[in-house]
């Protein structure tokens, strides 16, 4: 079986060799490497659809793995294509890092053992550091430093948690965690959760996210807020639903408290942001909170809703950050500049609009269906008050989502300034945005509750 | 037989044509596209009324029972009449008012037109909700982008937050219906309401009521409406008061009265009292208004409260009256808003204190204004009268104090006549020496409204025979 | 086919705007319309004589049918209405020469149409429809000269005041339909007693309120004098056969219900009260149309009293008589207005002999108003008093005196030998007046046939009849002494003070206070509403404030972040330990 993971892994190795060859032959044009990378990603995506995931030793697939890895690869292709459409002379390192980060995310989904899980997470993290820092400047430097230092802390905590789990259960395999010694085990579970919560930006472990998201190139932000976060959340599902025998109303309650505080906190903060990108960063954190609410149910219907929700917000987040990238390049940083969006690129603006609508949970985008799935799951289990609270916060988040849309007031633009855009590259970008936008509508076929 | 999709395809074609025009820089004007689309849709609709409609059902996602199902229910036709006709009637105001980004405006306009038509035909709750929300979003942008410069930011957000609150609650009701009946299909739900425990029925009913109170709107959740009206462009106001508010009544009838008559019966008296209170409250509030458009907005709350009373009366007289009042009020309030728009266009203000004596300059306008005011006051021969009569008959039969609503009508008489006096009569203010009477097209637009008002007033049976109170 | 009577007016109503003065004059169309209506009503009166023909047309749903009735009473009323309308329209040609024709004749046609429909209605629903149309068209006509502040205010006042009654009527309509399941007036009257007593009383009172407001009785009478701001032909029509008569007509047709509700005493009491107020106010005023307006209020009060004494026939006869002489008097005042531009009775000083052409009709009208023999009005007074008891008769005598006094005050002040004004005779104005005068004079002879044709009534010639006439003559004498010979100025001053004491000044201020308090409530509610709106805004701002507070936590400092993470870990571990 030619699984996607093998293709990626083999592809990275091959790419490094080809790049060495290129250097030796003194070919300065790096485009060949970039195109190869894209080809590898696409090939992996196709392989994922056809053959599914690998099932070896520490890695095993569950029923949702193929879907999750599929959309991760899909997003990876789109994001990568977007990055390369700049036709700037990017270093080839990016290619390797990007593939490795994607591979890491996929392995997180597949891990069936704590060791492989930790390694896969490390794989995403380390590649991400590079991605954040790849166009060197001071802001990137600051962001990357923050990311690295905080990320290390979380990894260390997680590894400590894993060791406690081992102490309690005598095994690290998810399938064998049955009879356990509770004291170290529960503490371990708590610490593992901290590590995963860091990755999936759950309050209070989210604080790195806005700074890092803002500091990075928006394309990298798109990667971090969709693929990387999705991997963290799905790992959460894997660990807490399939592995740990801790499912109980009490744990659910704790998760719900974390999730709800994530949503509330992030929504409040998003409201007061003046910079568009920071606002989007907080919105992305709030989205993670919603997915976490569904996870917190720790039952089948909740998990299904959570997976679908992760899918919806990953697509939408990728879309808004990519679309924003086009505007950011034209110096639209603050909300008050948003009125110019329409004159820069109509397609990107429409895509941005629809992405925001999806994040805000409005039909007919899949964001709505994602929230619908979550609410159905919650109400089916009698969490009426929770749903009411979530309605309230969705309503509240309307403020900042639609405040942003309102600021793109087309009628306020009198003079259309000269734009500094390469049309060809803009067309490619717009095409990618159209693809993602369509995905926001077509994705509804995956919903199930 | 005419496919119901036909009613949606035409506006969709219009939207596509507008986009193509923008992309390919076609020479055809936006106005032509929109006009022809609305006229064609209206013609298809009237043709369908004669030769019958045919529903359609396309399953989109089987797993969650999400299908695109168009099917007329018992009360669809009157609402469809409003949704199909009114946006077209308001267009002429838009042509005059909207000068910037026309294509985008008409895209939003047609989008809400399409969704308004679709919402009254959707019999799958998810597609219902989707269209319901598209209306809100398009309308939000219509206010936020083309509203009055000073107030549009705030008003659009207020509109959105309030109505979105209503939508969320409605969505809650839909989800509960799904959780207990396992279906989003209205027909299935209607046949299996017995599966829903009684407390849950109460909760669903409560949710629907809140959604309706916001949407119609009723005290105390009505604050968004005057603001939205004052800052919306005229065509938007026509759409808002003429059709959007009616959505509240529609869900109330469909999801409360027809699904859970027993529950509504339990809460009947409090509901009627709420309606009565709103009637009196809004009528007093209206009499304190200086802005003509705001005044109309409050009076439209007043009439929607009467509709609410009619619906809550739960007998066929009251329900029939409520639906007739909905249609009638749609046309009358649309006409009033068009008139308010013209007032602003002619004089530059809607402040009643600054106007005066205009009748000598604009007699034709004066004729239509007086006619609209008389119509709104429920004078027989015009469409509000049979509606008010039926509503009060129905309401009196279950709650005699409902007759207090007549006090509201009385006060409405007072403030509407004062408004007419302050705008049209007395001596002409010097500043208005140069204004000219409305154009022939303006008069045509107003005449079209008038035709509907008169025809429905003289022959309400046409309308009454077009619906029955079943799902 | 009774609707045929309405059709000509409806057609002319549509034709007037259509032609717009181009080929055919609006006045011609309107006059032709009402003439055809008159002919048709006469035709139906003869065809349906002695019968009672009900014609129903279903309107909507089951019970909502519109039915007309053709019997002697209703068809005679139709004849009366179309006749007076015709007269007034002819007079309008003279009076409204310089005014916008189209608008005037269109609105007049609505007015006439509504009144014709009203008298022919058999169902209360149809009655109400025309009732409202009467109110609306009177609003339009009273405010005809909209540029005058007083005219537009008067129009508004008329509609608001009468709409109080309309709403009462509406409520009665609802109560009766729900209670009895029918709108048919005969059925309602027949089944009235099957209603529960409170409902019966309530619906009766509501009907009564409706009639009071339309007929400008206490406490609604103030709109009628103000309504003088409209063109005089409008007043002539409004005061004689249409608007105010509608109220009287309502209580006439609904009298069985009112009786069953036990409201007769109330009718009498209100009637007497109104009559006295009106006469005192009439004595007080100088403006000829206002005096006539108060006299109308008084005459209508007589009808109310008559209905209260279960003498509807008398009321009907008086209504007919009143319609003729009151329109006559108004036409007279219209002539003054057009030819002299003056309507103040102290300013109008006409040569009696030089103006015989107008003085004679005027005298006939005034004598009719005073109820002196041998004119039609005298017989009408007789029939009116047929059901009175002693106390009522005594009060009626007092009223006769006062009526004669104010009527002749007007006459003697205007047609003053010492004065010099001379009026040119004109065809369009003179013919209607002569016609009406003739009817007023000879109408009394019709009394006996009237009993057979329209409505039966009795009359009693007793001692009170004599006293009545004597009192009236005394009034004439006093008026002559005081106003023609101008002997005792003091008296008029005193009368004035007395009148002021009772007058509309105090009463109007009560009404104005009521109006102000409604406006005040409106203002307060409006204020509350804007506060509510602000409250919602504040709610939004409040959450934003919360947000801006929470922003401080995230200051971009890595130490804070680590601190937060540690707190999170401790919290989770603490929770986990509780779990264990």
pLDDT tens per residue, range C189-220: 888 888 888 888 998 899 999 998 888 888 88
Question: Using 50, 70 and 90 to split pLDDT, how confident is the model at C221?
Answer: confident
How large is the greatest C-alpha to C-alpha distance in chain C, in angstroms? 122
Residue C34 CA to residue C83 CA, distance in Å, equals 8
What's the pLDDT score for residue C353?
Answer: 61
Residue C340 reports pLDDT greater than 80: no
At what angle are helices A300-328 and A65-84 packed, to 10 degrees?
0
For residues C281 and C503, the answer to whether their CB atoms sit within 8 Å is: yes
| pLDDT on residue C503 | 55
User: What is the per-residue pLDDT across A81-96, written as a single tens digit (0 to 9) for each?
Assistant: 998 887 677 888 888 8
pLDDT of residue A101: 93
Closest listed residue to residue C440, CA positions, set C362, C354, C353, C352: C362
Range A137-144 average pLDDT: 81
Average pLDDT of chain C? 81
Supply the range of the domain harboring residue A338.
247-449
Give domain status of residue A360, yes or no: yes
pLDDT in tens, A61-75: 888 888 999 999 999
Question: C505 exposed, middle or buried (CB, 10 Å; 0-12, 13-18, 19+)?
Answer: exposed
pLDDT tier at B470, thresholds 50, 70, 90: confident
pLDDT (mean) for A336-364 = 86
Q: How confident is the model at residue C384 (pLDDT cuts 50, 70, 90)?
A: confident
Domain boundaries, chain C: 305-496, 512-579
Q: Please tell me the distance from the alpha carbon of residue A428 to that of residue A433, in angstroms, as a whole number.
A: 9
Burial per residue of A23-56, b for 16 or more beta-carbon CB atoms within 10 angstroms, e otherwise: eeeeeeebeebbebbbebbbbbbebbeeebbbee
Contact A395 B169 (CB under 8 A): no
pLDDT above 70: percentage of residues in chain B = 100
**Which of A151, A180, A204, A283 is most worth mutating to test chain C (most C CB atoms within 10 A of its CB)?**
A204
Looking at chain C, which residue has its C-alpha nearest residue A211? Answer: C556
More reliable by pLDDT, A120 or C193:
A120
So what's the pLDDT on residue C263? 86
Q: Which of C16-20, C417-421, C462-466 has the lowest mean pLDDT?
A: C417-421
Strand partners, B3: B54
In a domain, A353, yes or no: yes
Q: What's the mean pLDDT in A385-407?
A: 87
What confidence score (pLDDT) does residue C351 get? 66
Cβ <8 Å between A186 and C579: yes
- Give yes or no for a contact between B247 and B119, defined as CB atoms under 8 angstroms apart: yes
Determine the Cα–Cα distance for residues C475 and C480; give it in Å rounded to an integer.
8
**Given CB atoms, is C449 within the 8 Å cutoff of chain A?**
no
Q: Identify the residue whose tokens are 């049979």.
A: B386
Distance CA A434, CA B2 (A): 34
pLDDT at A246: 64
pLDDT number for residue C282: 81
CB–CB contact A448 B164 (8 Å): no
Question: Has residue A253 been placed in a domain?
Answer: yes
> Which residue in A363, A411, A447 is closest to B100 by CB distance?
A411
**Residue C68 parent element (H or E):** strand C64-70
C463 vs B136: which has the higher pLDDT: B136
For residue range B100-138, what is the model confidence (pLDDT) as tens digits?
888 888 999 999 999 999 999 988 998 999 999 999 999
**A213-222, B75-84, B235-244, C506-515, range with the lowest pLDDT:** C506-515
Q: In this predicted model, what pLDDT tens digit does every residue of A3-24 receive, in sequence order?
A: 888 899 999 999 999 989 988 8
Q: How large is the average pLDDT for residues C123-142?
A: 89
Residue A299 lies in a domain: yes
Query: Mind spelling out the 3-state secondary structure of C321-361?
Result: HHHHHHHHHHHHHHHHHHHCCCCECCCCCECCCCCHHHHHH
Tell me which chain C residues have a C-beta less than 8 angstroms from the C-beta of A198. 565
pLDDT class of C468 with cuts at 50, 70, 90: confident
CA of A278: how far to CAs of A232, A319, C551, in Å? Answer: 21, 15, 12
CB contact under 8 A, B406 and C167: yes
Specify the pLDDT at position C574.
81
| Interface list for A 236-255 with C (CB within 8 A) | 250-251, 254
Rounded average pLDDT over A334-342: 82
- Closest chain B CA to residue A357: B137
Q: What average pLDDT score do residues A147-166 get?
A: 89
Name the pTM for this structure.
0.90
Residue A33: the pLDDT is 87
Mean pLDDT to the nearest integer, C252-266: 87
What pLDDT, on the 0 to 100 scale, is given for residue A307? 92
In this structure, are strands C64-70 and C53-60 parallel, antiparallel, or unpaired? antiparallel
Mean pLDDT of A252-277: 87
Answer with the residue of higher pLDDT: A236 or C539: A236
Rounded to a whole number of angstroms, the distance from the CA of B307 to the nearest CA of chain C is 17
What pLDDT is recorded for position C49? 83
Give the one of C544, C564, C573 whose C-beta lies nearest to A204's C-beta.
Answer: C564
Which of B192 and C372 is assigned the larger pLDDT? B192
Give how far C536 is from chain A: nearest CA, Å. 13
pLDDT of residue C352: 64
Confidence of residue B209 (pLDDT cuts 50, 70, 90): very high
Phi-psi region of C71 (alpha: psi -120 to 50; beta: other; left: phi over 0): beta
For residue A41, report the phi and psi dihedrals to the nearest 5 degrees: -60, -45
Percent of chain C whose pLDDT exceeds 70: 89
Q: Are A375 and B175 in contact (CB under 8 A)?
A: yes
Quickly count: other Cβ atoms within 10 Å of residue B430's Cβ: 8
- Interface contact flag, B130 A406, Cβ < 8 Å: no
Nearest-by-Cβ selection for C178 from B360, B397, B425: B397
The pLDDT value given to residue B66: 86
Work out how many domains chain A is built from and give that number. Answer: 1
Residue A352 lies in a domain: yes
CA distance C259 to C240: 26
ipTM over 0.95: no
pLDDT for A421 equals 67
| Distinct helix (H) and strand (E) counts, chain A | 18, 0
Chains that touch B (3 or more CB pairs under 8 A): A, C
Mean pLDDT over each residue of chain A, to the nearest integer: 86
Above 60 in pLDDT, residue C499? no
- Asked whether the predicted pLDDT for residue C416 surpasses 80, the reply is no
| CB within 8 Å of chain C, chain B residues 407-466 | 407, 409-411, 413-415, 417-418, 420-421, 424-428, 459-461, 464
**Cβ <8 Å between C550 and A187:** no
Lowest mean pLDDT among A44-48, B286-290, C229-233, C412-416: C412-416
Nearest to B64 among A380, A399, A449 (CB): A449
Residues 516-555 of chain C whose Cβ lies under 8 A from any Cβ of chain A: 540, 543-544, 546-548, 550-551, 554
Least confident of A136-150, A343-357, B247-261, B444-458: A136-150
Cα distances (Å, whole numbers) of residue C423 to C235, C289, C350, C352, C409: 22, 19, 8, 10, 21
Instruction: Decide if A351 is inside a domain.
Output: yes
The whole-number average pLDDT for the span A406-417 is 69
Beta pairing, strands B56-61 & B66-70:
antiparallel
pLDDT given at position C294: 87
The per-residue pLDDT for C421 is 66
Q: Residue A75 domain-assigned?
A: no
For B423-452, write each residue's pLDDT tens digit.
Answer: 888 877 777 778 888 888 888 989 999 999
Question: Which of B:84-123 have CB within 8 Å of A?
Answer: 100-101, 104
Is residue A164, in this structure, part of any structural domain at all? no
* pLDDT band of B327, cuts 50, 70, 90: very high
- C550 contacts A399? CB cut-off 8 A: no
Q: Does the pLDDT of residue A449 top 60, yes or no?
A: yes
Nearest chain A Cα distance for residue C261, angstroms: 55
DSSP A162: H
Cis peptide before C468 (omega within 30 of 0): no
Residue of A nearest to B158 (CA): A399
């Amino acid at each position: 079986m030619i699984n996607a993971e093998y293709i990626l892994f083999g592809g990275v190795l091959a790419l490094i060799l080809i790049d060495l060859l290129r250097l030796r032959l003194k070919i300065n044009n790096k485009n060949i490497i970039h195109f190869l990378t894209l080809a590898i990603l696409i090939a992996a995506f196709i392989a994922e659809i056809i053959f599914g995931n690998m099932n070896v030793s520490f890695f095993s697939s569950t029923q949702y793995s193929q879907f999750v890895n599929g959309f991760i690869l899909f997003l990876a292709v789109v994001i990568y294509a977007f990055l390369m459409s700049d036709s700037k002379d990017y270093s080839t390192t990016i290619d390797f890092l990007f593939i490795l980060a994607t591979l890491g995310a996929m392995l997180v989904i597949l891990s069936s053992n704590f060791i492989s899980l930790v390694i896969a997470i490390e794989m995403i993290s380390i590649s991400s550091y590079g991605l954040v820092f790849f166009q060197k400047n001071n802001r990137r430097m600051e962001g990357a430093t923050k990311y690295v230092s905080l990320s290390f802390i979380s990894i260390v905590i997680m590894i400590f948690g894993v060791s406690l789990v081992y102490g309690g259960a005598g095994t690290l395999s998810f399938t064998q965690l049955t009879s356990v010694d509770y004291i170290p085990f529960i503490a371990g579970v708590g610490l593992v959760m901290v590590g995963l919560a860091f990755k999936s930006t759950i309050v209070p472990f989210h604080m790195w996210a806005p700074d890092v998201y803002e500091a990075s190139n928006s394309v990298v932000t798109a990667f971090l807020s969709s693929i990387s976060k999705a991997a963290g959340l799905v790992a959460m599902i894997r660990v807490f639903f399939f592995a740990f025998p801790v499912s109980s109303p009490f744990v659910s309650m704790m998760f719900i408290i974390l999730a709800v505080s994530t949503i509330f906190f992030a929504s409040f903060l998003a409201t007061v942001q003046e910079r568009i990108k920071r606002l989007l960063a907080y919105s992305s954190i709030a989205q993670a909170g919603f997915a976490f609410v569904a996870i917190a149910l720790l039952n089948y219907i909740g998990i299904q809703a959570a997976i679908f929700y992760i899918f919806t917000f990953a697509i939408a987040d990728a879309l808004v950050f990519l679309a924003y990238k086009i505007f950011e390049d034209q110096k639209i940083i603050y909300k008050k500049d948003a009125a110019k969006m329409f004159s820069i690129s109509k397609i990107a603006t429409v895509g941005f609009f629809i992405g925001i609508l999806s994040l805000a949970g409005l039909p007919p985008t899949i964001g709505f269906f994602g929230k619908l799935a979550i609410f159905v799951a919650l109400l089916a289990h009698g969490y009426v008050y929770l749903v009411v609270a979530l309605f309230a916060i969705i309503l509240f988040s309307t403020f900042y989502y639609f405040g942003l849309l309102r600021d793109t007031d087309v009628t306020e633009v009198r003079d259309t300034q000269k734009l500094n855009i390469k049309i060809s590259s803009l067309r490619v970008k717009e095409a990618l945005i159209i693809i993602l936008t369509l995905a926001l509508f077509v994705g509804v076929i995956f919903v199930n509750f | 037989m005419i496919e119901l999709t036909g009613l949606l395809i035409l506006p969709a074609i219009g939207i596509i044509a507008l986009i193509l025009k923008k992309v390919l820089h076609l020479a055809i004007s936006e106005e032509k596209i929109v006009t022809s689309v609305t006229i064609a849709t209206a013609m298809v609709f009237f043709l369908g009324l004669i030769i019958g409609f045919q529903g359609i059902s396309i399953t989109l996602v089987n797993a969650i029972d999400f299908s695109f199902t168009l099917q007329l229910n018992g009360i669809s036709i009157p609402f469809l009449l409003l949704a199909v006709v009114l946006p077209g009637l308001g267009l002429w105001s838009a042509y005059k008012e909207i000068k910037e980004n026309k294509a985008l405006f008409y895209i939003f306009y047609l989008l809400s037109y399409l969704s308004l038509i679709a919402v009254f035909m959707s019999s799958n709750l998810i597609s219902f909700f989707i269209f319901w929300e598209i209306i809100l979003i398009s309308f939000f942008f219509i206010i936020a982008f083309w509203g009055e410069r000073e107030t549009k930011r705030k008003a659009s957000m207020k509109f959105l937050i309030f109505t979105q609150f209503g939508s969320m609650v409605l969505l809650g009701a839909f989800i509960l219906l799904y959780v207990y009946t396992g279906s989003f299909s209205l027909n299935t739900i209607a046949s299996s309401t017995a599966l829903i425990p009684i407390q849950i029925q109460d909760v669903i009913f409560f949710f629907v009521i809140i959604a309706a109170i916001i949407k119609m709107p009723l005290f105390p959740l009505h604050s968004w409406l005057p603001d939205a009206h004052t800052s919306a462009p005229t065509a938007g106001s026509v759409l808002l008061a003429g059709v959007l508010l009616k959505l509240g009544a529609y869900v109330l009838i469909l999801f409360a009265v027809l699904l859970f008559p027993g529950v509504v019966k339990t809460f009947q008296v409090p509901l009627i009292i709420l309606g009565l209170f709103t009637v009196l409250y809004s009528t007093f509030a209206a009499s304190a208004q200086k802005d003509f458009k705001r005044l109309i907005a409050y009076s439209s709350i007043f009439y929607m409260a009467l509709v609410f009373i009619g619906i809550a009366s739960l007998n066929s007289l009251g329900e029939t009256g409520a639906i007739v009042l909905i249609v009638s009020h749609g046309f009358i309030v649309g006409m009033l808003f068009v008139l308010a728009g013209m007032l602003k266009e002619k004089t530059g203000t809607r402040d009643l204190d600054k106007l005066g004596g205009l009748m000598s300059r604009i007699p034709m306008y004066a004729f239509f204004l007086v006619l609209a005011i008389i119509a709104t006051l429920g004078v027989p021969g015009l469409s509000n009268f049979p509606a008010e009569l039926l509503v009060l008959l129905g309401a009196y039969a279950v709650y005699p104090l409902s007759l207090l609503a007549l006090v509201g009508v009385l006060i409405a008489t007072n403030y509407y006549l004062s408004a007419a006096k302050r705008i049209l009569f007395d001596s002409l203010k010097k500043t208005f020496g140069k204004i000219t009477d409305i154009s022939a097209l303006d008069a045509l637009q107003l005449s079209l409204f008038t035709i509907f008002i008169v025809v429905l007033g003289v022959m309400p049976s046409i309308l009454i025979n077009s619906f029955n109170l079943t799902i | 086919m009774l609707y045929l009577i309405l059709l000509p007016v409806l057609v002319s109503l549509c034709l007037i705007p259509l032609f717009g003065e181009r080929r055919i004059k609006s006045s011609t169309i309107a006059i032709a319309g009402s003439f055809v209506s008159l002919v048709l009503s006469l035709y139906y009166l003869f065809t349906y004589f002695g019968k009672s023909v009900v014609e129903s047309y279903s309107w909507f749903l089951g019970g909502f049918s519109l039915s007309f009735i053709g019997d002697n009473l209703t068809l005679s009323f139709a004849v009366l209405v179309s006749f007076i309308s015709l007269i007034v329209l002819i007079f309008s040609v003279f009076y409204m020469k310089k005014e916008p024709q189209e608008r005037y004749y269109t609105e007049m046609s609505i007015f006439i149409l509504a009144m014709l429909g009203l008298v022919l209605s058999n169902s209360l629903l149809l009655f109400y429809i025309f009732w409202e149309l009467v109110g609306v068209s009177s609003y339009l006509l009273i405010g005809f000269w909209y540029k005058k502040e007083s005219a537009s205010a008067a129009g508004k006042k008329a509609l608001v005041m009468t709409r109080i009654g309309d709403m009462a009527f509406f409520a009665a309509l609802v109560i009766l339909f729900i209670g009895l399941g029918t709108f048919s007036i005969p059925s309602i009257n027949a089944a009235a007693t099957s209603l529960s007593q409170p409902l019966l009383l309530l619906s009766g009172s509501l009907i009564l309120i409706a009639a009071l407001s339309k007929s400008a009785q206490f406490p609604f009478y103030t709109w009628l004098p103000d309504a003088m701001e409209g063109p005089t032909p409008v007043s002539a029509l409004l005061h004689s056969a249409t608007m105010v008569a509608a109220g009287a007509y309502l209580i006439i047709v609904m009298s069985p219900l009112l009786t069953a509700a036990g409201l007769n005493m109330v009718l009498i009491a209100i009637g007497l009260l109104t009559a006295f107020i009106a006469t005192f106010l009439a004595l007080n005023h100088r403006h000829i149309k206002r005096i006539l307006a108060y006299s109308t209020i008084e005459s209508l009060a007589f009808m109310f009293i008559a209905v209260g004494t279960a003498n509807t026939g008398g009321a009907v006869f008086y209504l007919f008589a009143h319609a003729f002489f009151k329109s006559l008097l108004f036409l007279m005042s219209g002539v003054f207005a057009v030819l002299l531009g003056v309507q103040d009775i102290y300013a109008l000083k006409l040569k009696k002999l030089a103006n015989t052409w107008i003085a004679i009709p005027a005298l006939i009208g005034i004598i009719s108003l005073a109820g002196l023999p041998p004119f039609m009005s005298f017989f009408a007074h007789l029939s009116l008093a047929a059901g009175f008891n002693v106390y009522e008769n005594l009060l009626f005598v007092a009223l006769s005196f006062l009526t004669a006094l104010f009527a002749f005050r007007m006459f003697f002040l205007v047609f003053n030998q010492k004065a010099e004004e001379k009026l040119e005779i004109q065809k369009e104005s003179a013919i209607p007046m002569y016609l009406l005068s003739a009817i007023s004079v000879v109408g009394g002879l019709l009394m006996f046939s009237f009993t057979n044709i329209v409505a039966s009534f009795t009359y009693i010639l007793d001692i009170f009849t004599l006293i009545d006439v004597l009192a009236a003559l005394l009034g004439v004498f006093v008026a002559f002494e005081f106003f023609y010979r101008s002997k005792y100025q003091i008296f008029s001053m005193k009368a004035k003070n007395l009148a002021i004491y009772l007058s509309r000044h105090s009463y109007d201020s009560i009404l104005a206070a009521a109006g102000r308090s409604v406006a005040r409530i409106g203002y307060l509610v409006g204020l509350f509403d804007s506060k509510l709106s602000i409250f919602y805004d504040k709610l939004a701002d409040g959450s934003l404030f919360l947000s801006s507070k929470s922003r401080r936590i995230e200051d971009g400092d890595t130490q804070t972040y680590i601190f937060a993470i540690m707190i999170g870990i401790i919290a989770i571990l603490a929770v986990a330990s509780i779990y264990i």
